[in-house]
Amino acid sequence: MMMKKKQDGEQTRGGVVLVPFPSQGRINPMLQLGTILYSQGFSITVVHPQFNCPDPSTHPHFTFESIDDGIPEEDISSWNIWNIIWGLNDNCEKPLKEWLDRRSSKMPDHGHQWRITCVIYDDLMYFASAAASHLKLPSIVLRTNSFATFLARAAIPLIKPQKYMTGDPVPNLQSLRFKDLPVAKVGLTEDFLRLIPLMIDTRTTSAVIWNTIECLEKPFLTELQKQCQVPSFPIGPMHKFAPDSTSNLANADTGCITWLDKQTDNSVLYVSYGSQVCIDEEEATEMAFALANSEQPFLWVLRPGLVIGSKWNEFLPEGFTQSVGERGYIAKWAPQKQVLAHPAVGGFWSHCGWNSTLESASEGVPMICRPISGDQRVNARCASHVWAIGLQLDNELLNRKEMESAVRKLMVDEQGKEMRQMAKLFKEKIQVSITQGGSSYNSLNDLVNFISS
């Protein structure tokens, strides 16, 4: 971390309570934020639901408290997102309030060295703001997405449903089409329309923290300033300020790094669809053929459960492994940040989750963008049409030829080289943002002062 770091044990600025949403893509940014604030002298307590708990041993200086979430096992194992979101917000406000109440009534000389200065919560855990405000504690929302996604979400309720899937431009949102809006594929509709105002509401919130960077979001800044009424702190990419802060829900295969060490610079295509999305067997099979036929080296993360109907890699065409031989490496889970920073990696075929998009841009790696749902469409559109560092696979159904052609364009052709150059430029700009005087660096200083005051 490039800001002046306090020594361990100098936690003199008070305590911050973090309330993450229990998914990989949202726990990590919250823990990174905790690590940053800890290094600035705050004590950190993570209050989390009982399932998908972060591993406390990865952050030994934090205190971890679990609260009763009441989510049935079958909703967790089938990842029934709506039951999980509504369930957490219905069930967790009371236990959080009770915990905060107990904790705030303890004075510093009763075994606790610090008072709670604020509660920072994921925007899906909006019950935390209500619990904090009940006890007159300030709360700050962490948005783990971009300005563009926030604005796109806010635009959805204003649009007639018949327009959702059209290619018409969204008013005031540069380059976004209606079909890029983060409309959840699963159960759009009432659930989604009910969630949006709850997520974007800041009536009981003192400020917003964003895991994003001004240099990426310039086209959306003016519109954001119009719509965001409380102070905003864009302090991304947080993984760069807190590189060692990760709590993996799966074990990473480090053998892929040894394999990458043997490959030439910019030659490998890294393929990963993050921690949550699923694809059907047909698309996965076409991907396998495209990777095999492209003749480019690749590292493919096949997360168990990624392909619907396959426990792991049973869908792979017969003879696939023999035909690609040493040219391909398949991992169940990879140390992604390390992979993207590896000189051998020259491209990333991604579902464009926001973390993956930020991590790729931060390392100057251009992308093949294959968004599956929600904010991934906004991120993919920004990568391809706003920042010019990505090639979007736009068709609903894709065949192996189209995919193979995209792989070659990115890894071999002039178009790929241009995108790689542009991505390297963003890498440099991002580096400037997090060093002294840069936008995220300054924002972080402002945030620390804001919380302290």
**Cβ closest to ligand UDX, residue 362 vs residue 443:** 362
Cα torsion at 259, 412, 315, 271 (round to 10°)?
Answer: 60
In angstroms, what is the minimal distance from the CB of 358 to ligand UDX? 8
Beta bridge partners of 65: 47
Q: Is 260 helix (H, G, I), strand (E, B) or coil?
A: helix
Q: Determine the Cα–Cα distance for residues 67 and 384; give it in Å rounded to an integer.
A: 41
CA 191 remoteness from chain centre: 22
Q: Tokens 């402002």 sit at which residue?
A: 446
**H-assigned helices in 228-366:** 238-241, 255-261, 281-294, 320-324, 336-341, 354-362
Cis peptide before 237 (omega within 30 of 0): yes
- Secondary structure element (H or E) that encloses residue 196, with its range: helix 190-200
Distance between CA 348 and CA 360 in Å, rounded? 7
Q: Least distance from C-beta 375 to ligand UDX, angstroms?
A: 5
Residue 79 CA from chain centroid, whole number? 17
Q: Residue 8 to residues 12, 35, 37, 429, 451: CA-CA distances in angstroms?
A: 11, 11, 12, 31, 19
Question: What is the amino acid identity at position 241?
Answer: F
Interface with ligand UDX includes 441 (CB under 6 A)? Answer: no
For the bound state, the minimum distance from the C-beta of residue 308 to ligand UDX, rounded and expressed in Å, comes to: 15
Residue 446 belongs to what H/E stretch? helix 439-452
Cβ atoms of 416 and 347 within 8 Å: the answer is yes
Residue 288, classified by CB atoms within 10 Å of its CB into exposed (0-12), middle (13-18) or buried (19+), is: buried
For ligand UDX, give the closer residue by CB, 92 or 369: 369
Q: Are 148 and 382 in contact (CB under 8 A)?
A: yes
CB of 278 to ligand UDX, least distance (A): 10
Q: Length of the chain in residues, anyone?
A: 453
DSSP letters, 331-365, are: ESS--HHHHHHSTTEEEEEE---HHHHHHHHHTT-
Give the residue, chosen from 11, 24, 263, 362, that forms a contact with ligand UDX under the rule CB under 6 A: 24
Q: Which is nearer to ligand UDX, 23 or 202 (CB)?
A: 23
Query: Segment contacting ligand UDX (CB under 6 A): 3-11, 122-130, 158-166, 328-336?
Result: 328-336
Number of residues lying near ligand UDX (CB under 6 A): 24
Which one, 129 or 360, has the nearer CB to ligand UDX?
A: 360
| Binders in 266-325 for ligand UDX, by CB under 6 A | 272, 274-277, 301
Taking the complex as a whole, the smallest distance from the CB of residue 272 to ligand UDX amounts, in Å, to 5
CA distance 311 to 177: 36
In angstroms, what is the minimal distance from the CB of 30 to ligand UDX?
12
Smallest distance, ligand UDX to C-beta of residue 372, A: 8
126-145 positions binding ligand UDX, by CB under 6 A:
145
Write each residue from 345 to 384 as x if it is in contact with ligand UDX (CB under 6 A), else as -, in one continuous string. Answer: --------xxxx--x--------------xxx--------
Cβ proximity to ligand UDX, 263 vs 276, nearer residue: 276
Instruction: Output the smallest distance, CB 118 to ligand UDX, in A.
Output: 24
Of 24-32, 75-83, 418-426, 443-451: span binding ligand UDX (CB under 6 A): 24-32
In the shown chain, the binding pattern of residues 237 to 276 toward ligand UDX, with x for contact by CB under 6 A and - for none, equals -----------------------------------x-xxx
The token pair that represents 204 in the structure block: 């009981």
- What's the one-letter identity of residue 72? P
User: Shortest approach of ligand UDX to residue 434 CB, angstroms?
Assistant: 17
Contact pick of 11, 22, 28, 306 for ligand UDX (by CB under 6 A): 28
Smallest gap, in angstroms, from Cβ of residue 280 to ligand UDX? Answer: 17
Of 337, 342, 377, 420, the residue at the interface with ligand UDX (CB under 6 A) is: 337
The CA distance from 378 to 150, in Å, is 10
Q: Which is nearer to ligand UDX, 3 or 249 (CB)?
A: 249
Closer CB to ligand UDX, residue 206 or residue 360?
Answer: 360
Q: In angstroms, what is the minimal distance from the CB of 432 to ligand UDX?
A: 22
Interaction site with ligand UDX (CB under 6 A): 23-26, 28, 145, 272, 274-277, 301, 333-334, 336-337, 353-356, 359, 374-376
